[in-house]
Amino acid sequence: MSAADVAAALERARDAGRLLRERPARSAVDALADVLDAWRDPGSRWQKALAEALPEATGFAPETVREGLERGLASFSGDALRELLQREIGGADALDAARGRRAGAFETTAVVLAGAIPMPSLLSIAAPLALRSPVVVKPSLHDPVTAPLLARALAERDPLLGACVEVVAVRRDDQAAIAALCAADCVLATGSDAAIAALSARVAPPRRFVGYGQRFSVAVLGPDATRGERLALSVEGLALDVALWDQLGCLSPVSVHVVSGEARAADRVAEGLGAALARAESRWPRGRIATAAAAEIASARAEAEMRAAAARPDHASPAVSVAASPGTAWTVVREVDGALRPAPLHRFVRVHPAPDVDAALAALRPAAAHLAGVALAGFRDAGADVAAALADLGASRVCAPGALQSPPLAWRRDNLGVLLPLARWTDIEL
């Protein structure tokens, strides 16, 4: 699509948005809520269409996509949208308020999507629409499916709402077309830190830029989660968190920090997690990966095996160990300290020991700016304090193992709100 095509799409969206804002805000929210309710039903034609098309387009295995969609969309309900609107904006009425606080929408919002995981894409498109801001969407190279399908679903439910979504195919190296896209009044973008920085440089005030960068997640397990039934539950949950979307999501844990004074605790977690990932592989096979990614895994594995071999076998001190599938489907490396190491992703997890919570926090601190979610278990009454410390560190979500991949619709990704950053506020004091 040329820059002129993008500019034309932006104008069409602007016109449709004007008409949409002539309607009560509640009607747009209701239509959007209906579409979300339809999509979250695993039996719906929309979720089925997504589940059928995504494996080919994205490389994820069909089983993984089905499970990921079912869990990921479970919280994406119409009611959840209304609650979100109430919590962040003060309800749909605040969008039409003639006095007090009025939440306005930007005349146009450009949405630049990244990655192949559909839930963030879905929410990035729905959020401006909930405020009645029409969107011009540049789909991700890796997911050409979600945005057009959502546009179709919206158009079926509410033609005007459908007209407020323009999907544009823009090559990432087409600077003129990107510039045309960035002429929108608000630009919401997801992507690498470099991509976010490059795009934000194109959007000067009063136009608004909202960027969501790349993040990573971890697990922190306390002593109670390192043995017996609780260990089994924790590693089973973590294996699910790792397996879904092949550990490529920002809510995918890349490392597990085992807080315990007992040296063998990390060994047990690593062994249990390896067994759980092997079971996960049989249910939700890892998808296809590029040779470069497989090479990173093979290289990181061999490097860990070399460190494991280098340790003198005295059995007295903990040693690096590697549990892995044939091929590169999954890997667990039991480390001997907290130092973060390269994470090749694609189901590659490192298990780090930490003598106490402070040590685990100190290990995470160098990368805290990129921290998203933390799966937390095994601290009994101290859990709330540990969660608060993780929040202070920068985590935007703390939950139980197994729940990372099903965040609530209202999760404040990147410590931001969902709707709040996209709204224009006016205080009417008359």
Partner 1 sequence: MSEDPARAALDAAVLAWTREEPWRLDEVRFERLALELFAFQFARCEPYARFCSARGRTPERVASWREIPAVPTGAFKELALRSFPASREAHVFRTSGTSTERRGELHLDTLVLYEAALLPSVRRFVLPDLESGARARLRILAPAPEEAPDSSLSHLFGCVRREFGDAASGFDVRAGALQIGTLLAALERAGPDGVPVALCGTAFAFVHLLDALAARGARLALPAGSRAMETGGFKGRSRELSREALHGAIEEALGIPAARIVNQYGMTELASSFYDSVLWDPSGPRRKLGPPWTRVRLLDPESGDDVAPGGVGMIAILDLANTGSVLALQTADLGRALAEGFEVLGRVPGAESRGCSIAADEMLAP
Long-range contacts from 146-153, C-beta under 8 angstroms, 24+ separation: 146/50, 146/54, 146/113, 146/118, 146/121, 146/122, 147/113, 147/121, 149/46, 149/49, 149/50, 149/53, 150/35, 150/39, 150/121, 150/122, 150/125, 150/126, 153/35, 153/38, 153/39, 153/46
Terminal CA-CA length for the chain: 47
Q: Is 290 in the site for partner 1 (CB under 8 A)?
A: yes
Per CB under 8 A, the segment of 39-47, 226-234, 277-285, 300-308 that binds partner 1 is 300-308
Per CB under 8 A, the segment of 62-70, 147-155, 220-228, 305-313 that binds partner 1 is 305-313
For the bound state, the minimum distance from the C-beta of residue 350 to partner 1, rounded and expressed in Å, comes to 8
User: Which x/- pattern, by CB under 8 A, does the window 389-408 give for partner 1?
Assistant: --------------------
Q: Is 363 in the site for partner 1 (CB under 8 A)?
A: no
For the bound state, the minimum distance from the C-beta of residue 307 to partner 1, rounded and expressed in Å, comes to 5
Angstrom distance (rounded) from CA 198 to CA 116 = 21
- Give, for 389, the enclosing helix (H) or strand (E): helix 383-393
Q: Is 330 in the site for partner 1 (CB under 8 A)?
A: no
Q: Is 109 in the site for partner 1 (CB under 8 A)?
A: no
Cβ-based neighbour number of residue 15 at 10 Å:
15
Angstrom distance (rounded) from CA 120 to CA 142 = 13
What does residue 255 show for φ and ψ, rounded to 5 degrees?
-145, 155
Q: Which tokens go with 306?
A: 């070399």
> Which residues from 181-220 bind partner 1, rule CB under 8 A?
190, 192-193, 212-217
Binder among 78, 134, 139, 249 for partner 1 (CB under 8 A): 249
Q: Is 346 in the site for partner 1 (CB under 8 A)?
A: yes
Per residue, the 3-state secondary structure of 53-79, as one string, reads: HHHHHHCCCHHHHHHHHHHHHCCCCHH
Task: Report the residue number, 47 or 247, with the smaller CB distance to partner 1.
Answer: 247
Q: Is 175 in the site for partner 1 (CB under 8 A)?
A: no
| Residue 260, CA atoms < 13 Å, CB-side half-sphere | 26
Binder among 5, 305, 336, 383 for partner 1 (CB under 8 A): 305
For the bound state, the minimum distance from the C-beta of residue 303 to partner 1, rounded and expressed in Å, comes to 4
Cβ within 8 Å of residue 327, ≥6 positions away: none
Binder among 124, 146, 226, 247 for partner 1 (CB under 8 A): 247
Binder among 58, 108, 124, 405 for partner 1 (CB under 8 A): 58
Per CB under 8 A, the segment of 63-71, 123-131, 246-254, 393-401 that binds partner 1 is 246-254
Bridge partners, residue 188, by sequence: 111, 210
Task: Report the residue number, 3 or 393, with the smaller CB distance to partner 1.
Answer: 393
Closest to 222 in 3D by CA, of 390, 380, 385, 393:
380
Q: Is 297 in the site for partner 1 (CB under 8 A)?
A: yes
Q: Is 387 in the site for partner 1 (CB under 8 A)?
A: no
Q: Is 344 in the site for partner 1 (CB under 8 A)?
A: yes
**Residues at the site binding partner 1, with contacts judged by CB under 8 A:** 58-59, 114-117, 120, 142, 190, 192-193, 212-217, 245-250, 252, 254-255, 289-300, 302-303, 305-310, 313, 327-328, 340-346, 366-367, 369-370
